[in-house]
A and B are shown apart, each in its own frame.
Chain A
């Protein structure tokens, strides 16, 4: 009897609580949101804001302590020193080259997946694209480091067909290949999603109106796939822009990216200068996102 009464009381309490939450949905909302929003605002946003504020501070050359006086010196140094311009140019240039390469490689595969493959083949291709995306990015860079090395598989293959060694290890070429490789799945998926959404009868209509295959591709498929390509480019471009591991592992001397300088400055430690330089990719991405939004990439994500 006592047990039953206890169970009844417990159920009564639970019912009262459920009713309370049902009647006062705001309480429920607050309970659900409090933890994630507080954690993110305090830890994450707080850190981001403090980082960008510190870009306007300085480090004392002797004590290595951060001096909290407002100054634009970090930005002035960045502006005046040609080295930083060159590094920024290299970073943007390779990010752009990688984006174009990935778009070119992704399109035929995405097209095949979306419009030609049978259900089963499509599912298999999906897994074949996703597994590399999720497998360790460090491991994939390391794989290329061994492939491109002097005694690696690339030179072995070249020699086997009678060609001389390709000495591209530790060069900008190596970075271009490795970045294109590492981010390729990020391009394939949005392009696939965009192509899959094109209704078949658009293509039929184009054909009925007398367009050849190439004309249909240019006037119907590419414009409709563009938002997907731009969506993919957000990833390939942004991820390349912020990277420092790839240049460190497969780039040569003098192939630093913005990320490498930032990493080095954090280690100094000169966080204010690192923060100032880190605003450069953030601003570039900001501009890029505005353009991408115009091109309809956000609906394609």
Chain B
């Protein structure tokens, strides 16, 4: 349908846009191996020294620990709440059904600064001191929708008659869950959980408003970039962060059979 010239043009544009998306990432990853302490391009003298430095940096280590902890707890909360909400929305028609999915989507649809500020001022009014727990609550609010979307999408693609057949054959609720529902849902749950974790692991804005003296890894990076401090160490950490987020996303995509809907962080929400 398209003429040969327009095909070629579109092909070239595609390559250029993909290059635009990837060159900055590859470039900043290269900086991790920069032998010089000066941030200039091209990098000089390949070294692995900064990975060693980063590994032994107390502040970086404790912020990594906090990020992993917050990510794990927030993901757990998101899996429980997201699955329960998805099951309710899938099985029932009730008044306010649309409102529930809208409510869950809200923290992702509104700019992060609104969510962050709202929680910050609520903690302030309630006299709750900022702590790890306040960060976890902040992260859980925007992670729920990711699990919810994944689980709901999977439920919609599976046949409800499976559950009925299981009940007809005399299985109780637990047995039906264990042998019929779980095998269908498990990969969607794991994928949703991984994506929620990736989202939490990277988050800066909500964290910025809900963290007190605590420093998650992104906050550590932000502080160091702003002060221009220990940038070589930051580069090594950034390299690791890119790898760490790429892995769960890739696994999640495999688990869902490359289903387009699953990874559309922003766009899936409103598909509901």
Contacts and interface: CB of A to CB of B under 8 A. Distances in A.
Contacts of B204: 137-138, 245
B31 interface: yes
A145 B225 contact: yes
Contacts of A278: 113-114, 117
9 contacts: A32-B88, A33-B84, A116-B2, A116-B7, A136-B218, A138-B202, A147-B41, A266-B120, A301-B269
B209 interface: yes
Give me the 6 closest cross-chain CB pairs, A-B, nearest first: A242-B111, A151-B40, A18-B173, A108-B13, A47-B122, A143-B28
Contacts of A123: 258
A193 B84 CA distance: 29
A54 B266 contact: no
A147 B124 contact: no
Contact of A275 (B21, B25, B117, B263): B117
A249 interface: yes
Nearest to A272: B121
A176 interface: no
Contacts of A46: 122
Interface stretch (B58-66, B153-161, B182-190, B241-249): B241-249
Contacts of A48: 106, 114, 118
Q: How large is the interface on B (under 10, 10 to 19, 20 to 34, 35 or more residues)?
A: 35 or more
Nearest to A156: B41
B111 A25 contact: no
Given A129-B21, A132-B21, A51 B117 contact: yes
B117 A35 contact: no
A109 B24 contact: no
B137 interface: yes
A91 to B, nearest CB: 11
B81 A35 contact: yes
B11 interface: yes
A281 interface: yes
A163 interface: no
A116 B1 CA distance: 10
B24 A143 contact: yes
Given A200-B1, A231-B267, 4 more contacts: A50-B121, A108-B13, A112-B11, A238-B110
B238 interface: yes
Contacts of B125: 50, 54
